[in-house]
Amino acid sequence: MASTLKYLMIFDFDETIINENSDDSVIQVAPGQEIPAWLRETFQEGFYNQYMQRVFKYMGDKGVRLADIKSVYEKLPLSPGMSDVFRFLTKNQERFEIILLSDANVFGIESFLKSNGFYSLFSRVISNPTKAEKNGYLTLGPYHTHTCLKCPANMCKRKILTEYLAERSQDGVAFEKVLYVGDGANDFCPSVLLTYTDIAFPRKNYPMHQLIQKMEEKGTYQAKVVPWDSAEVVTHSLQGLLNSS
C-alpha cells in the first residue's frame, strides 16, 4: 500500500523557483527604475511585507499600471535546472502533492506560474494576499500573525506547514515523505519539522543551507539534506525516489 501514498513537495518562490527576488525585480517598472531614498529608509528588519505595501502604493501614485507590474512577474527567470524539475513533476503528477509557500505575493506568483505554464502543477499557492484595486493599484497584506521569534512579522512558514499537515491529516491524507525546496532562513524554520524520512533541498550556500549545516554539526538536524546549485540535483533525487518505491 505504501507505494500509493503521495509525496508532499513544497517549493519556495524567490531565489528557489526563480533565480532572483521578485520584490527587487518589480522595481524595474518604478519611475527611474528605483525607489526614492525616503521610502527605502522606512524599511525595518522583519517588516519587509509592510515596506512592500508602501512600495506598491508609491508605484500606484506614480501611475505604474498593474499590467506593467504583471509583465515583470511573467518574465522572471527560472533558477538553473528548475524547468527540468517541473517537466519531471508534470509527467509524474499523480505521485506528488505540490504546494508553493512564499513570502512574496499571490498576484506575482500566480502571474508567473500561469505565464510559464506551471500553474496547474500546484494544488495550493500560499503567499501574502494581494488585491487589484479599482484605481489600478496593487495592494498587499500580511499572510497571518504568529509568535515565532525567528520569522518576519507577517509569515512563519513553520506555522503554515504545521497547519497544512494537520488539515491534510484530517482529510485522511498521509504523506510518504515531505520534500522541501528552498533557500532562505524562513525556509529553514519549517524544515526543522522534517523527520529522518524526509528530504530538505536547500540551495547551496544560501541561508537555509548554512543554518542546516550548523544544526548538522550538532547532530540535531533530522531530514536528509540534498543541497543544489542546479535543480537537476532535485530531479535526480526525485527519479531515485520513484524508482525505489
Maximum separation of any 2 CA atoms in the chain, in Å: 60
Q: Do the Cβ atoms of 160 and 126 come closer than 8 Å?
A: yes
Residue numbers belonging to the annotated binding site for substrate: 23, 103
Is 68 labeled as catalytic in the residue annotation? no
Is 24 labeled as catalytic in the residue annotation? no
Strands 138-140 and 130-132 come out as antiparallel
- Dist. CA 191–CA 208, nearest whole Å: 9
Q: State the catalytic residue, choosing from 14, 24, 171, 229.
A: 14
Q: State the catalytic residue, choosing from 12, 61, 84, 198.
A: 12
- Dist. CA 175–CA 56, nearest whole Å: 38
C-alpha cell at 29: 517598472
Q: Where are the beta strands (DSSP E) in 103-232?
A: 124-126, 130-132, 138-140, 175-182, 199-202, 224-225
Using DSSP, state whether 181 is helix, strand or coil: strand
Q: What is the CA radius of gyration of the chain?
A: 18
* Phi-psi group of 200: left, alpha or beta (phi > 0 → left; psi -120 to 50 → alpha; rest → beta): beta
Residue numbers belonging to the annotated binding site for Mg(2+): 12, 14, 183
Q: What are the catalytic residues?
A: 12, 14
